[in-house]
Amino acid sequence: MRDVPSEEGSKLQLFDRFLTIWIFFAMAVWVGIGAVSSEVSNIFDKLQIDTFSLPLAFGLLWMIYPSLAKVRYEELSKITKADKMFSFSLFLNQIVSPFLMFGRVHFK
């Protein structure tokens, strides 16, 4: 069978096409920096409040911002038309999830 490039693959830019490789490269670089210099670890230890890591929080926010920016807020009024789905999601997120998190923390 011939390898035929898909249209999606040909439309991706270089960075997007090799994203997995870039991620592993970045991980290797930071692990290498941490192994070579213990000062980096000390700097990151100072940038936390109790057990809350500020660099991690800012990094996560930086990663999820693009998906949050693409939310079509003008369509939120349509959510009332999907009563069952909205109710089920609300039930899972506001009722079930807190109990699961509580159980995970207190019953290790």
69 is a domain residue: no
Tell me, yes or no, whether 20 and 55 share the same domain.
Answer: yes
Tell me, yes or no, whether 27 and 57 share the same domain.
Answer: yes
pLDDT in tens, 17-34: 888 999 999 999 989 988
106 is a domain residue: yes
pTM comes to 0.44
State residue 5's pLDDT score: 57
Give the whole-angstrom CA distance, residue 97 versus residue 88: 12
Give the whole-angstrom CA distance, residue 21 versus residue 24: 5
Tell me, yes or no, whether 20 and 59 share the same domain.
Answer: yes
State residue 76's pLDDT score: 77
Give the whole-angstrom CA distance, residue 92 versus residue 96: 5
Q: Token digits for 4? A: 């035929």
pLDDT in tens, 86-104: 889 999 999 999 999 999 9
72 is a domain residue: no
The pLDDT > 70 percentage for the chain reads: 91
The β-bridge partners of 53 are: 48
36 is a domain residue: yes
Phi, psi of 22 (to 5 degrees): -60, -40
- Is the distance from CB of 62 to CB of 68 less than 8 angstroms? no
9 is a domain residue: no
- Is the distance from CB of 53 to CB of 47 less than 8 angstroms? yes
What range does the domain containing 102 cover?
A: 78-108
